[in-house]
Structure 1
């Protein structure tokens, strides 16, 4: 187990996550517990008619085969990293050069995004630079539908989008904004989060 722990600590250090291996594994366990357990046969949740419709549109409702990777593993790891890299209100205030109350005010006005946990507000790191907030952030956050969780917004902001090319290469909305791209284009895409493609 020592070799595995050392490898995990190396990855955590290389990625800049400020957590030791034990704390990170506790975060992974918490995230795994929050997710519903995987079901080996998802088809049993649906009626025969529903199964027909879902398979007609291309969904695979077949039972999980032995040896297949658990699809929840990536979600658990993503949630753990997302939670660990988030800033506290005080850390965000320091980054923005304001006091804690201004950060809470911006959260209330959807000028910053975050979630409230047992230890108070946590603010995802993607929305900050070394010296402040990502340019155009407020424009984008105003467009995000209210029902979209912070993890979905983070995934969108950090995933290359074909509609946001820089030198003919799709870029993430965050990088687009950092490069001086029009926040209205990102807001347009953000407004569609949670809607069918």
Structure 2
């Protein structure tokens, strides 16, 4: 087994709290919408805690509620020579309620069989064991945080903001912690570190 302290994990909580359009439709029972970052930030906070408890070093690339630029995030991760980059998100296809559902992981095009793809497979193994959701697979996309990082990087979409059931999961602490633990277990498996 490898030592957790040998590894630096870069954590990216997706969009800023006030990024336009990154939110659920209005939820009638709540009388408001849920910003995507309310979920992303909570999950990254739990991941940060769990990773440090295991012994990993962590790097929060967007530590405030403002919308840190993508370049600033990847530049920081690269300058600190992070070993892994994890970007946490919640998906959407429109701003009205729909039936599309499920979670997925993205890697840079051509990297499915590279280190990023392996990292994605390790995390996917545990995501699929959690709350019942449609597994949409490991996909390729030219996202900045996947293209401009010098280390294995994945972007996970953990549900759909415009799906009524999955939108409500966004603010459930039990679900937030579960998603965090699933990612942490995947990182541990990928890096050969014991999950405790």
**Given the two structures, how large is their TM-score scaled by the length of structure 1?**
0.23
* Bigger proportion of residues as helix: 1
Larger Rg: 1
* Bigger proportion of residues as strand: 2
**Given the two structures, how large is their TM-score scaled by the length of structure 2?**
0.23
